[in-house]
Amino acid sequence: MQQRLIQLFRERGINEIYVELSLSGEVETHGMTRPQVEQLADVIVQKWGERDVTLRYDDIYEQSPELADLVHTIVIARPGLFCGMQIDIPAGGAIPPDGRWIEEGIRHKLARYGGEEAVRDLTLIIRVAGFVDDDQVAAFQRAFCDANLPFAEIYINTPFHGTICLKAAQG
C-alpha cells in the first residue's frame, strides 16, 4: 500500500511528503483495494499544504464513511519537513510504562540518521498515534537529562496530549 500511495502522490505532482496512517484491523489483515487506496490518496492530497494536518476518524468520516472504517487517523506533515516520500503505518500494542519506548524510538532514529555526530544539529519530532501517555513522558524525563540525549531538540507529539518538549535547543 505504501508504494501505491507514493506512486499516486507522484502522479498528482507531490514529490515530498510524510504521512502516518492508523489502519483498522481489517486493513492490517486484508489490505485495501486499489480504488480505496486511490480515495485515500485523494483525501491526503486535498489536505496536504502549508501546515501539519491530523485527520481523526470523524474528519475522515465527513469525507467518506467507508474510508473512515478503514483508516482511523491520517497525519500529514507540511512540505519541507521531510525529504522524499515516507508513509508510516505504526503497529499498535502495549508499551512499557517507564519511558523505555521513547528511549528506544530515539535510539532507532539515531541509528537511522547516522549516529550522534550526524544528528547534533537536527530536531527530532516523534509522532505517535496515542500510544504514549503522560506517565511514560514523565518517567522518560526523570530518567534522562538533556546532556544525555542526541539531537539538538526532541519533541513528542500525540493526538491526545499535543506536543511536549523532551529536549530544548541549547543557547
Tell me: the pLDDT tens digits for 99-151?
A: 887 888 888 889 888 999 999 999 998 877 556 777 788 888 888 877 788 89
Q: Which three cell numbers stand for residue 55?
A: 485527520
How far is Cα 57 from Cα 55, in angstroms, rounded to an integer? 7
Rounded to the nearest 5°, which phi and psi values hold at 63? Answer: -85, -35
Same domain for 82 and 116, yes or no, is: no
Same domain for 112 and 42, yes or no, is: no
For residue 55, the enclosing domain spans 2-88
Q: Of 31 and 161, which is predicted with more confidence? A: 31
Question: What is the model's pTM?
Answer: 0.57
- Give a yes or no: residue 13 inside a domain: yes
The residue type at 86: Q
- Among 12-16, 71-75, 113-117, 125-129, which is the least confidently predicted range? 125-129
**Sign (positive or negative) of CA dihedral 112, 115, 120, 126:** positive
- Give a yes or no: residue 55 inside a domain: yes
Same domain for 34 and 7, yes or no, is: yes
Q: Which one of 36, 61, 88 terminates a domain?
A: 88
How far is Cα 38 from Cα 137, in angstroms, rounded to an integer? 37
Q: What is the pLDDT of residue 156?
A: 87
How far is Cα 28 from Cα 171, in angstroms, rounded to an integer? 45
Q: What is the pLDDT of residue 77?
A: 86
Same domain for 154 and 111, yes or no, is: yes
- Give a yes or no: residue 95 inside a domain: no
> Would you say residue 40 has pLDDT above 80?
yes
Q: Which one of 33, 63, 88 terminates a domain?
A: 88
Mean pLDDT, residues 28-38 taken together: 91
Same domain for 17 and 75, yes or no, is: yes
CB-CB contact of 131 with 91 (8 Å): no
How far is Cα 88 from Cα 73, in angstroms, rounded to an integer? 12
Number of domains present in the structure of the chain: 2
How far is Cα 21 from Cα 75, in angstroms, rounded to an integer? 7
- Give a yes or no: residue 94 inside a domain: no
Q: Which residue has the cell 523532551?
A: 166
Same domain for 144 and 82, yes or no, is: no
Q: Which one of 34, 53, 88 terminates a domain?
A: 88
Same domain for 106 and 83, yes or no, is: no
Per DSSP, helices labelled H in 51-168 are: 57-63, 65-70, 100-112, 116-119, 134-143
The residue type at 66: E
Q: What is the pLDDT of residue 78?
A: 78
